[in-house]
């Protein structure tokens, strides 16, 4: 069956691979060379840029934008309206070894509603990035980030607060 019939109201580029069983919400656009595994879940009105990989056991809330060259591995959960910049890296095992299978040790990573992660950031597994938080480009996030926090650097450290629109504010938003 053609993907257009399987996913009405969804735009899927001809070079994308969507495995049977993947769930995709109406209004979502999937661009060149993407791959969605059978148990991937993508909400309504999302945009998956070129070369995005969505593993099994990944959920993407409605209205998310995932830029080019991002791999969302097993255990990553994006709440609604999350922005993931180009080439952001997610991990799912703390101490990987090629010769030891550790799939039973996958750790979930949760990105809160409205959060934004800048280009080339690395998100170590097992953490939560709070709602509307802002992670700077190139940051290496190794621990939880509070809602509305602005973090930068390696390792990422908090340098301030942002409002819902991502503007810097002097005090923690309520």
Contact 107, 126 (CB under 8 A): yes
16-67: per-residue pLDDT in tens? 999 999 999 999 999 999 999 999 999 999 999 999 999 999 999 999 999 9
Sheet holding 35-36, edge to edge: 17-18, 35-36, 53-54, 71-72, 89-90, 122-123, 140-141
SS3 of residue 42 by DSSP: strand
Report the percent of the chain where pLDDT is more than 70: 95
Per-residue model confidence (pLDDT) at position 91 = 94
Q: How far, in Å, CA of 43 to CA of 168, rounded? A: 29
Predicted TM-score (pTM) of the model is: 0.94
Residues 86-97 pLDDT 10s:
999 999 988 889
Domain spanning 3-169, CATH class: mainly beta
Q: What is the pLDDT of residue 126?
A: 96
CB 22 within 8 A of CB 39: yes
Q: Nearest CA to 17 among 44, 42, 54?
A: 54
Neighbour tally for 6: CB within 10 Å:
13
Q: What integer is the mean pLDDT of 11-20?
A: 97
Q: How many C-beta atoms lie closer than 10 Å to residue 24's C-beta?
A: 25
pLDDT of residue 171: 75
Give me the DSSP letters along 134-146: EEPTT-EE-S-B-
The residue assigned the tokens 């593993």 is 55
Quick one: pLDDT band at residue 1, thresholds 50, 70, 90? very low
Q: How confident is the model at residue 105 (pLDDT cuts 50, 70, 90)?
A: confident
Of 148, 127, 104, 125, whose CA–CA distance to 135 is shortest?
148
Mean pLDDT of 111-119: 98
Q: Where are the domains of the chain?
A: 3-169
């Amino acid at each position: 069956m053609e993907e257009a019939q399987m996913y009405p109201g969804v735009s899927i580029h001809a070079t994308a691979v969507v495995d049977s069983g993947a769930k995709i919400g109406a209004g979502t656009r999937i661009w060149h060379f993407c791959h969605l595994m059978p148990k991937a879940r993508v909400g309504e009105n999302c945009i998956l840029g070129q070369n995005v990989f969505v593993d099994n056991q990944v959920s993407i809330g409605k209205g998310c934008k995932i830029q080019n060259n991002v791999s969302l591995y097993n255990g990553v959960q994006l709440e609604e309206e999350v922005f993931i910049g180009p080439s952001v890296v997610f991990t799912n095992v703390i101490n990987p070894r090629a010769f030891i299978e550790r799939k039973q040790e996958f750790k979930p990573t949760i990105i809160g509603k409205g959060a934004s992660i800048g280009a080339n950031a690395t998100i170590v597994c097992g953490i939560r990035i709070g709602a509307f938080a802002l992670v700077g480009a190139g940051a290496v996030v190794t621990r939880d980030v509070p809602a509305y926090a602005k973090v930068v650097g390696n390792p990422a450290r908090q340098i301030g607060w942002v409002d819902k629109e991502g503007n810097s504010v002097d005090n923690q938003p309520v």
